[in-house]
Structures are given as C-alpha cells and as structure tokens.
Amino acid sequence: MDNEVKLHGFWPSPFVYRVIWALKLKGIEYDYIEEDLANKSELLLRYNPVYEKVPVLVHAGKPISESLVILEYIEEVWPHNPLLPKDPYERSVARFWINFATDKGRSAVRSLFWGGGDGKKEAAEQMFDLLKIIEEQALGDKKFFGGNSINMVDLIFAWFACWIQPMEQLVGIKVLEPSRLPSLHAWVKNFKEEPIIKENLPDPERLLAYYTRLTSNLVSKPT
C-alpha cells in the first residue's frame, strides 16, 4: 500500500497517455482505472474535486492531478531513467518548450478542429506556423526532442504524433505534410516506433470514431 500507484484515466485523452508513457518509460508498475466521464466515479470526484478531470495519479493513497504536475511528480519521486536533463540550463530549455506547447498548442488545436468551417484553412496555416517553430527551434536535427532518447518534451508534444492523423481525417485538412515538415514527420515515425510507445498507443480508427461522435454531438446541440 505504501508504494501503490494507480492511474485514473480516459482512453482517448492525450493527457492521460503522457502519464502512461512516463510510468512505462520508468518501469513503474501501476493499476489503471478507466473512468466514464459521463458518469464520473466517486473516487475521481474525491481525488480531483476542483476540476473533476483525468488524469489523476494516486500514489500511496495521495492524489495528484493535472498531467504536467503529475509528470513533474513522477520525475521527482522516481528519478531513474530521467525525463528532464540534469544540466540546469538544458532543463530550463525543456521547460520553456513544455510551457510553449501548453500555451500555444491547445488554442491552435481548438481553432483548427473545433472551430467554424470558414476559418479552418486559416487555422491550418496557423497550426503549420506553430509546428514549423517547433521543428526549427525545438527539434532541429535531433531524433527526439530529448536527443537520442525520449524525454518530457517528447511526451508533451506527442499529442500530434498520435492524435493528428484522425483529426486530419475528421476535418479533411492535412497539416503534418512530410514535404513541409520533414523533421517533425520523421520524429513522429521515430516516436511511434519506440517499443514502449508502440505498445501503448490508442487505436487511430477508434479515435476517429470517438472524435466523429463528439463533433456530431457538439454540432447537434442547440445554441
């Protein structure tokens, strides 16, 4: 019980997968509890009464909420197989890009995939501009954002490695073109082929079906 680790999640969530990958990369055993977000469990509401959202990591009976906070907690409690550089400057650079992804990424995704039809082409170009900055300034010529191995920056940016394909199919717009973003396209391939990542990926067809239903429900709701 003292070292028991549990993760409350919801299968389509990229924020949950960040935590899954971090635990797997560090070799930490845990129990996974799938939540029904339409009928949230009493445990979820007790563990995260403020946001009532997943992921929630429970370690030795103590809950930790919000994916970025959870990743930092995992890194501090289990420092082996580090997900952040040891050098203070390099660590600050990694945190800069983590904050960049959090600050810019959500609004760009929301504009492209949940916005109105007329603005989707403009939103797609804005998304491309964002990804180009990430490719040139953060990734460069490295295999991973962490260099030769996956680090926390890779986990944060991984939403477009695994979720971009079904979302592109949903809106009918291609964003991650190999000819325009060759390094990022190669990174996606490298990331998804890492054994631990490959063994713990959501099914793209299931994701597409989920987001199709979600979009249909949003469109059909009265305003």
Query: pLDDT digits over 7-34, tens only?
Result: 999 999 999 999 999 999 999 999 999 9
183, 140 contact by CB (below 8 A): yes
Give the H/E segment covering residue 59: strand 56-59
191, 221 contact by CB (below 8 A): no
119 phi/psi in degrees, rounded to 5: -100, 10
pLDDT for position 221 = 54
Between CA 177 and CA 170 the distance in angstroms is: 16
What's the whole-model pTM score?
0.93
